C-alpha cells in the first residue's frame, strides 16, 4: 500500500473510532446514575457510627466511603464504593469498589430512615459481614467543622 492511501485509511479509522466513542458517551447506559435522585438523597453527607465512631461519607456523586479509626491493635481502614437508589427511592445499594480488601463488588441493599440527626439502615440483602455489622448501627450527622 502506498503512503497516501495508508494515511487515508488511518485517518478514516481514527474518525470512525471517535464517532463511535461519541455515540456511546451520549447514549443512555444501562444502570446510568440518576444525578437528581443522588443530589436529593436525605442521607447524603457525613455521618458518625454509634458502633465505633467510623465516618460514613455519602457523596451526591454516587460515591461513598467508610473510614474506621484505629482501635488498640486494629489499624485504621477505609472502604470506598458506589451507591445508588432503587426506582422507588426507598432502597439504597452500596457496592465496595474492586480495590476494596473486603467484599469488592458485592452489593448490599438497605432500606433507610432519617430522623432528625440520625440515619438508620435496615438490611434488605447483603453478603458482606463487615458492612452489614456497621450498617446495623445508627449513624449521627457529623458536625460541620
Per-residue confidence band for 62, with pLDDT thresholds at 50, 70 and 90: very high
Per-residue confidence band for 145, with pLDDT thresholds at 50, 70 and 90: low
What does the alpha-carbon distance between residue 109 and residue 127 come to, in Å, rounded to a whole number? 10
pLDDT at residue 15 tops 60: no
Is 32 or 91 the better-scoring residue by pLDDT? 91
pLDDT at residue 57 tops 60: yes
Does 58 lie in the same domain as 4?
no
Tens digits of residue pLDDT in 76-126: 999 999 999 998 889 999 999 988 888 999 999 999 999 999 999 999 999
Does 113 lie in the same domain as 87?
yes
Contacts of 53 (CB under 8 A, 6+ apart): 69
pLDDT at residue 31 tops 60: no
Does 60 lie in the same domain as 14?
no
| Grid cell in block for residue 108 | 448490599
Per-residue confidence band for 34, with pLDDT thresholds at 50, 70 and 90: low
Does 46 lie in the same domain as 25?
no
Does 114 lie in the same domain as 45?
yes
The pTM of this model reads 0.72
Does 96 lie in the same domain as 41?
yes
Give the chain's domain count.
2
Strands 45-49, 139-141: pairing kind:
antiparallel
Does 26 lie in the same domain as 69?
no
User: Average pLDDT in the 32-58 region?
Assistant: 84
Does 87 lie in the same domain as 25?
no
DSSP string, 47-79: EEETTT--EEEE-TTSEEEEEEPPBTTBPPEEE
**Which domain does 2 fall in, by range?**
1-30
Amino acid at each position: 500500500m502506498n503512503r497516501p492511501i495508508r494515511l487515508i485509511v488511518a485517518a478514516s479509522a481514527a474518525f470512525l473510532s471517535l464517532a463511535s466513542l461519541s455515540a456511546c458517551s451520549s447514549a443512555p447506559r444501562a444502570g446510568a446514575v440518576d444525578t437528581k435522585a443522588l443530589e436529593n438523597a436525605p442521607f447524603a453527607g457525613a455521618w458518625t457510627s454509634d458502633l465505633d465512631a467510623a465516618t460514613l461519607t455519602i457523596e451526591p456523586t454516587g460515591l461513598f466511603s467508610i473510614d474506621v479509626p484505629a482501635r488498640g491493635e486494629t489499624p485504621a481502614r477505609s472502604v470506598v464504593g458506589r451507591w445508588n437508589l432503587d426506582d422507588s427511592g426507598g432502597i439504597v445499594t452500596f457496592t465496595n469498589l474492586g480495590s476494596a480488601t473486603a467484599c469488592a463488588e458485592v452489593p448490599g441493599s438497605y432500606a433507610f430512615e432519617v430522623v432528625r440527626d440520625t440515619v438508620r439502615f435496615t438490611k434488605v440483602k447483603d453478603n458482606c459481614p463487615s458492612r452489614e455489622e456497621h450498617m446495623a448501627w445508627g449513624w449521627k450527622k457529623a458536625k460541620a467543622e
